[in-house]
Structure 1
Amino acid sequence: MGVLLDECADRGVLSVVHLDRPFDIAPDAGTTHDVPALARLVQTAAGWLAAAGARRGDRVAIVKDNHWDYDLLACAAVRIGAVPAKLSGTLPPEPLAVLLGRLAPAVLVTTADVLARGHAVGVDLAAACRVTVTLDGEHPGATHVGEFRDAAAPPPVRPRADDPLVIMHTSGTTGLPKLVAHSTRTIIGALARVEAGRIPVIGVQRSDTVTTVSAYAHGRTFCWTASVVCLAPRKIVVLTDADPDGADPVLRAHPPTVVEGLPASYVRLQPLTTRLDNPFRDVRLFVSTYDAVHPPTVRGYLAASARRRPLWMQGWGQSETGPITFRFLGRKSASWRNAGHPMPLRTRLRVVDPATLRPVPRGRPGVVQVRTPARCLGYVGEDERFAGKCADAWWNTGDFGVLTRTGSVRLLDREVDTVPGMSCLAVEDAVEDRLGSVVECVVLGRPGAPPLPVVVAADGTLDPAAWSAAVADLPPMAEPLVLAREDVPRTGTGKVRRTALLAALTGNTAPAGSGRWT
């Protein structure tokens, strides 16, 4: 990864990258870059990190605003033999300080704004770091990156296959995120190398315009970077914000043929699908990762494409494992909650009883376990927690589901959110499918009380009669609460922090399930 862009430039890769705003590491370089320019940015950043004192085996923490230069900085750290740790700038200062304490990085690359937010609540985010480098401005105790502008990059170092290559954190829907360490063998050899193949229909082609709108602090984009540059599409379009009005001119200037996005980003961008100059008219493939996407959203995008048979590829996986299963949805697809089949020839699934951890017959619900060569090396600073989710070569996903007769998995809920006699995810699907005014539905399980539905409505209101009719055949629930989107606590990837939401609404933090494998 440290020389990925150099090698692609030497091979004559002609992809052009278009950004919705300039890189934070190159604010004066504009929004259009070719591959040689990206390679020079990585080399330059490698010089900064070396001048700041990062050496082979050291950890380099990256905390900043959302942008693809998270991955360019990660490549720069890998280039000098260091181990990058990508931490979301959306994390509050207190949990961010805990994660930095576990990492004890030699260098922290951040912004003065991030440090100031910590200072405002009495948290010194630089305390656990040897050197702190700011990208945007001066801050006491930190060195502005301008001090290293003329530093030359040292010769590249090739990491060993099984040594830590990169660290990223989980979404943190149920509490403090976990720090996940991957090696070259797990994230590049077992994941990116497969994705970089020219797979018929679903593979990226040289004629494609590939658009991504993601959370670049997370692990998916590191793997995506490794594959998409090698596949050399005509254009790569990077969106850092899913605000429809901001994204619209970029998408219209560069209409995508392949789109990959966070489920929450698809929801936010969906109003664009009904505009006269619909920017998704030429999309042949939509890709979603991280979390479930509800049926109305999928149907809206597939209908927006003017292609004869557009596809939606939905992946289910975790930071610890990468993609576990995948499935394809078309305009006439059914059985939405089915997460698809495991990756052929390399991933196996089983469902176990949550009490005994013994496999259950197909068709019976239980906790899903996976066996994959892409499983991470461990959790930084939480060895015991990691060991508790391992059973020989099997990894406990913490998801509750059913293995069907055909070998696909039907997801029900996270085990921590499990409500006896119902699937919260299935109820959410049904509500959003039946009530067009509901942009988002979240069903919160509560011990000893009916599940609490929370809805985000397009106009901020919910018709009681329409609600009663929509849920008449669903399991009993409490009366719904209507919230504005901005009042729903979320992770950096847009997932709802269900535990935090339940606590804010009821004062109760007790999970519906055991929470044993969070």
Structure 2
Amino acid sequence: MKPSDMGVLFDECADRGVPTVVHLDRPFAIAPDAGTTHDVPALARLVRTAAGWLAAAGAWRGDRVAIVKDNHWDYDLLACAAVRIGAVPAKLSGQLAPESLAVLLGRLSPAVLVTTAEVLAGAESAGVDLTAVCRMTMTVDREHPRAAHVGEFRDAAPPPPVRPRADEPLVIMHTSGTTGLPKLVVHSTRTIIGALARLEAGRVPVVGVRRGDTVANASSYAHGRTFCWTASVLCLAPRKIVVLTDADPDRADPVLRAHPPTVIEALPAAYVRLRPLTTRLDNAFRDVRLFASTYDAVHPPIVRGYLAASARRRPLWMQGWGQSETGPITFRFLGRKSAAWRNAGRPIPLRTRLRVVDPATLNPVPRGGPGVVQVRTPARCLGYVGEDERFAGKCADGWWNTGDIGVLTPTGSVRLLDREVDTVPGMSCLAVEDAVEDRLGTVVECVVLGRADAPPLPVVVTADGTLDPAAWSAAVADLPPLAEPVALAREDVPRTGTGKVRRTALLAALTGNAAPAGSGRWT
């Protein structure tokens, strides 16, 4: 089975008898009394029920439905419910600052905002009224004076499903926002389902999901990746799906032990946080044959730690590089003996083309030379909500400017150096981060911040927020010149909903100056 219509995806899977059982680490916000175990027919009923709520709240074909709540997979169930009635869901992370949410909601002008009283109260404490630009606001947790409670719509019958047109807006999600206000990315059925999810739903030898698999996911469900993953994983019909909403090791461990995964996809930041579980007796990753990661760079010690934790003979790590605007662009596979860490992999065969251009002239550079990576893919999004000029500035003759600096090797693979906005002449911040994490076992995470008029500033995250100066000096002795390091605890580092470091905010907090090293022209 291949996905086509997200509005009836769960219905179609239920009708086909998909036997998958879903295990959650906590109940859905939209079904708090339904427990943590669901089969596909139950999920299909929940999507239909939510479609009735949205229709009764006033959303209809072509309207936008904004979703802002706590992190859980019911983001995607609500999105499918909106698609079912012909509306366009917009998934916004509840971890965004209230001021950012207000701007994004203003651009969307949603017919319905689905949120929680907790989100609304948090915004109010910052002097922001998120309901002001929404025709109707509905809370799914408890009542709020500026919103209707979902209980008012409990008995609403779902209208007949509306089939989305292939090239019209299907779903809106936002970028991570590491350098500022996130962009609102619009995808169609053709771009995110036809070009991506249908490809993933194929049964690929060795690395594809099998019917006997237990597939775990630890992600930010407000982002576009899980919408695509939902479509493909249901059609692949594994034995179990395990949904983690919290990467705290002590809370995730019991769920993973109860349902040991054979395939796991997680945010890089989630892998970092869950890493202590790899060294526990009878660790929860012992049966994993495939680890998958997206969104951000994963440094060598993390990959090695998880591959070593697996009791499989040849476990693999699949690293995807891509963007919200394009979906995955390249992929690579790492095993226990892999060495080419900075290689981002090869373009998706028959679907993706890459080239590297000079940042100043945008003329192609010879293979082996650094430049800005551009991609041509049928999965490219339709545009940005409220930022047409910004979107047009990243397009050129069918090529999409990723804003990443990299090298296209003679063999056709890509080696990433840095984001253009972070680039420092004569060095790769990513390579320095790799080296530091490889050499200093006490460093949980290293972030090198490029600056316009000063040496790059290394920020290291350690368990206790301290760093041994002598060990640091020895570790960086042969690396490019760096400023004195700043050691922080994890909770002191500003992050996006996907766990990425908000580099601009961190640089401003530490130095009082957010001016980056690069131009930021394609952020």
The alignment's C-alpha RMSD in Å is 0.5
Does 1:28 find its partner at 2:33? yes
The offset of 1:460, in angstroms, is 2.8
Q: Secondary structure at the match of 2:404?
A: strand
Q: Secondary structure at the match of 2:456?
A: strand
Does 1:405 find its partner at 2:405? no
In structure 2, distance between residues paired with 1:137 and 1:471: 52
In structure 2, distance between residues paired with 1:118 and 1:248: 33
- What residue in structure 1 maps to residue 154 of structure 2? 149
> Percent identical across equivalent pairs?
88
Q: Cα deviations across residues 202-233 of structure 1 (Å, max 9, x unaligned)? A: 11000000000000000000000000000000
The offset of 1:489, in angstroms, is 0.4
In structure 2, distance between residues paired with 1:311 and 1:281: 13
- What residue in structure 2 maps to residue 461 of structure 1? 466
Alignment of 1:293-372 (within 5 A): 293-372=298-377
The offset of 1:458, in angstroms, is 2.8
The offset of 1:447, in angstroms, is 1.1
Q: Secondary structure at the match of 2:455?
A: strand
Q: Cα deviations across residues 135-180 of structure 1 (Å, max 9, x unaligned)? A: 1111112000000000000000000000000000000000000000
Does 1:417 find its partner at 2:422? yes
The offset of 1:411, in angstroms, is 0.3
- What residue in structure 2 maps to residue 275 of structure 1? 280
TM-score by length of 1: 1.00
Does 1:124 find its partner at 2:118? no
In structure 1, distance between residues paired with 2:462 and 2:51: 47
**Aligned residue pairs: how many?**
518
Q: Secondary structure at the match of 1:366?
A: strand
Does 1:205 find its partner at 2:210? yes
Q: Secondary structure at the match of 2:368?
A: coil
In structure 2, distance between residues paired with 1:140 and 1:35: 35
The offset of 1:498, in angstroms, is 0.5
2:391 alignment partner, one of 379, 386, 405: 386
- What residue in structure 2 maps to residue 502 of structure 1? 507
The offset of 1:461, in angstroms, is 2.2
Q: Secondary structure at the match of 1:3?
A: helix
Does 1:104 find its partner at 2:109? yes
- What residue in structure 1 maps to residue 199 of structure 2? 194
Kindly provide the amino acid, as one letter, of the partner of residue 16 in structure 2.
R
The offset of 1:277, in angstroms, is 2.2
Q: Secondary structure at the match of 1:450?
A: coil
Alignment of 1:162-241 (within 5 A): 162-241=167-246
The offset of 1:373, in angstroms, is 0.1
- What residue in structure 2 maps to residue 511 of structure 1? 516
In structure 1, distance between residues paired with 2:131 and 2:439: 49
In structure 2, distance between residues paired with 1:280 and 1:430: 26
Q: Secondary structure at the match of 2:411?
A: coil
The offset of 1:420, in angstroms, is 0.5
Q: Is the 8 A contact 1:281 1:306 kept in 2?
A: yes
Stretches of structure 2 lacking an aligned partner (at least 5 in a row): 1-5
- What residue in structure 1 maps to residue 3 of structure 2? none
In structure 2, distance between residues paired with 1:408 and 1:150: 55
Q: Is the 8 A contact 1:437 1:459 kept in 2?
A: no
Q: Cα deviations across residues 227-268 of structure 1 (Å, max 9, x unaligned)? A: 000000000000000000000000000000000000000000
- What residue in structure 1 maps to residue 484 of structure 2? 479
- What residue in structure 1 maps to residue 66 of structure 2? 61
Kindly provide the amino acid, as one letter, of the partner of residue 392 in structure 1.
D
Stretches of structure 1 lacking an aligned partner (at least 5 in a row): none
Q: Is the 8 A contact 2:463 2:490 kept in 1?
A: no
The offset of 1:459, in angstroms, is 3.6
Q: Is the 8 A contact 1:2 1:75 kept in 2?
A: yes
- What residue in structure 2 maps to residue 444 of structure 1? 449
Kindly provide the amino acid, as one letter, of the partner of residue 193 in structure 1.
R
TM-score by length of 2: 0.99
Q: Secondary structure at the match of 1:496?
A: coil
In structure 2, distance between residues paired with 1:368 and 1:87: 28
The offset of 1:96, in angstroms, is 0.3
Q: Secondary structure at the match of 1:137?
A: coil
Q: Is the 8 A contact 2:72 2:221 kept in 1?
A: yes
Q: Secondary structure at the match of 1:316?
A: strand
The offset of 1:462, in angstroms, is 1.4
In structure 2, distance between residues paired with 1:304 and 1:397: 34
Does 1:287 find its partner at 2:292? yes
